[in-house]
Structure 1
Amino acid sequence: MNSSIYNALTIFHTIVAEGSIAGAARRLQMASPSVSQSLKLLENHIGLPLLNRTTRKMELTEAGHRLIDSTQNALQSLSTAVETVQDLSEKPKGLVRMTVPHIAYWLLFEPRLGEFAEQFPDIQLEISINDGTVDILKQGFDLGFRFGNQVEEQMVAKKLTEPFRLGIYASKTYQQKYGLPNTINALQQHKLIGFRFATSNRVMPLTLQDKGENLRIEMPMPIIVNSLVVAKSAILQGVGIGRFFEPLMAIQPDKQKFIPVLEKHWQSFGALYIYFMQHSQKVGRIKAVIEFFTTTE
């Protein structure tokens, strides 16, 4: 494979990850016509169209799907191998792209960003906040964060936190209007701020623990959100009773405005993990980020 085809493959993968030629051009810091020309070169070399392009969207053809699936791991491995050798003579530097849910950012990143920047001045972090489950390989990320250690083949997950509870809270405004429930049965007469998962598009059920059993509770939902930031705001304004992670509430500057509800019945949630491609941990800049955030302060 000559260098022009290798470069064209790399650009093609970036187009697919970004969803557009313009997006790929921005990420690669290239002119859009140059990206288009590279795609045309690759299609001519293969003899088949790889993308169906309209003014509204871009979709992979069957040939495009096959090319992505058959070259993704090989390109990543080759890139990693080159970077690993380069790292022998250099201190960690370069861009590290990561997808991070709100809770991981607030608990792990926000308190230590300044420390990281001081320790690794040549590493540039690109942090994409996303509460959904992300395929980091397809989306072009180096690292991801999620609950649980169930990851795809050829990926590694490292534990960052112990399991913690998903708390239920109300505001003083809500308490003054409606009072607070003191039993699970009474809770069902109140309003719940619903939460929809970003990836599955499924509304999270309210589950409580009672005498060793998990109980699913049905409640009216005046509002459904997919962001912890919005959920917190809705709780504070008295829209309903809402869920918020216990360690996250503990670091909120206005935590005194929130009242725990039925605390002894709170559900235990999983631990947070960082996940990444197995071979990528050999790359200096990625290894530095992994080790920094998996090391206790």
Structure 2
Amino acid sequence: MLARSGDAVQALQDAIESVRDDNAIPSGLVRVTLSRFAYQLIFRPFIAEFGARYPHIQLELSLCDGTINILDAGYDLGIRFGDTLEEGMVARRLLSPFAEGLYAAPKYLARHGTPQTPDDLARHRLIGYRYITANRLLPLTLDADGEPLGVAMPTPLICNDIDVTADAIRAGLGIGRLFAPICAQQPDRERFRPVLRDYWKTYPGVYLYHLPHA
């Protein structure tokens, strides 16, 4: 599912050469907007390789979970879900679709029990997530045989960062949402017990995109 490091580097190389093809050697400022999870999954594993391959590029990374119009905001490249791309963009898929999982620590489940159905979640606690740019809470939406199912839960903690969410899950504060590949990256991932896996929502693929070169 996750693009190999070499594939991602090649995709960035192609994009950079497209937006910077006025130079034989890519150089100058390249501004990239991407979400925090996209940085962790895609960019962080090969950022050193990128720097070695492009010593003349000044790379600016802007981490933002909101939808950005790269033309209006002055970015060269973006990395976003495929369903949020503006029309007319040149896009290359970096990640296939993946699930947003529900996870809880063993000690939380030992105290509160393991939910067996979505209805059971009303008696549990959710680690909430707030969008930074939109300033709104992310509702909990499950997938019930292909239909979206909204679930209301008590929320003892709200944050706007996936690392804080992971820490809260570890601490046993509640059930939290993490993208499955993010959970797989956790060094102690065995402490993240999946909850209601059959109801996990699937997100579309993630793409590297830019404007067509004039």
TM range (shorter): 0.7 to 0.9
Counterpart mapping for 1:112-191 below 5 A: 112-191=46-125
Q: TM-score, normalised by structure 1?
A: 0.61
Counterpart mapping for 1:9-48 below 5 A: none
Aligned-partner SS, 1:196: strand
Shift of 1:228: 1.1
Structure 1 counterpart of 2:174: 240
Is the radius of gyration larger for structure 1 or structure 2?
Answer: 1
Aligned-partner SS, 2:131: coil
Return the match for 1:221 from 155, 168, 176: 155
- Gap change, CA 1:121 and 1:199, over 3 Å in 2: same
- Gap change, CA 1:112 and 1:183, over 3 Å in 2: same
The one-letter amino acid paired with 1:191 is R
Counterpart mapping for 1:11-90 below 5 A: 84=21, 86-87=22-23, 90=24
Shift of 1:117: 1.9
Contact 1:131 1:227 survives alignment (8 Å) = no
Distance in structure 1 (CA, Å) of the matches to 2:58 and 2:41: 20
Q: What is the identity percentage for the equivalent residue pairs of Structure 1 and Structure 2?
A: 46
Contact 1:149 1:273 survives alignment (8 Å) = no
Structure 2 counterpart of 1:195: 129
The one-letter amino acid paired with 1:161 is L
Distance in structure 2 (CA, Å) of the matches to 1:108 and 1:83: 21
The yes-or-no answer on 1:92 pairing with 2:17 is no
Structure 1 counterpart of 2:198: 264
Contact 2:102 2:175 survives alignment (8 Å) = yes
Aligned-partner SS, 2:158: strand
Distance in structure 2 (CA, Å) of the matches to 1:155 and 1:212: 29
Where structure 1 has 5 or more consecutive residues not aligned to the other structure, the ranges are 1-81, 281-297
The one-letter amino acid paired with 2:56 is D
The yes-or-no answer on 1:279 pairing with 2:210 is no
The range that moved more, 128-137 or 267-276, is: 128-137
Q: TM-score, normalised by structure 2?
A: 0.83
Contact 1:235 1:242 survives alignment (8 Å) = yes
Shift of 1:104: 0.9
Q: Quick check: which one's strand share is greater?
A: 2
Shift of 1:154: 4.7
> Which structure has the higher relative contact order (CA within 8 Å, separation 6+)?
2
How many residue pairs get aligned? The number is 197
Distance in structure 2 (CA, Å) of the matches to 1:212 and 1:278: 35
- Gap change, CA 1:212 and 1:131, over 3 Å in 2: closer
Return the match for 1:210 from 131, 134, 144: 144
Distance in structure 1 (CA, Å) of the matches to 2:121 and 2:93: 34
Distance in structure 2 (CA, Å) of the matches to 1:274 and 1:194: 28
Shift of 1:219: 0.8
Shift of 1:272: 0.8
The one-letter amino acid paired with 2:187 is P
Distance in structure 2 (CA, Å) of the matches to 1:254 and 1:199: 31
Q: Quick check: which one's helix share is greater?
A: 1
Question: Which consecutive segments of 4 or more residues in structure 1 shift more than 6 A?
Answer: none
Distance in structure 1 (CA, Å) of the matches to 2:180 and 2:125: 20
1:106-152 CA deviation, whole Å, 9 max, x = no partner? 11111111222222222221112212222223332211121124433
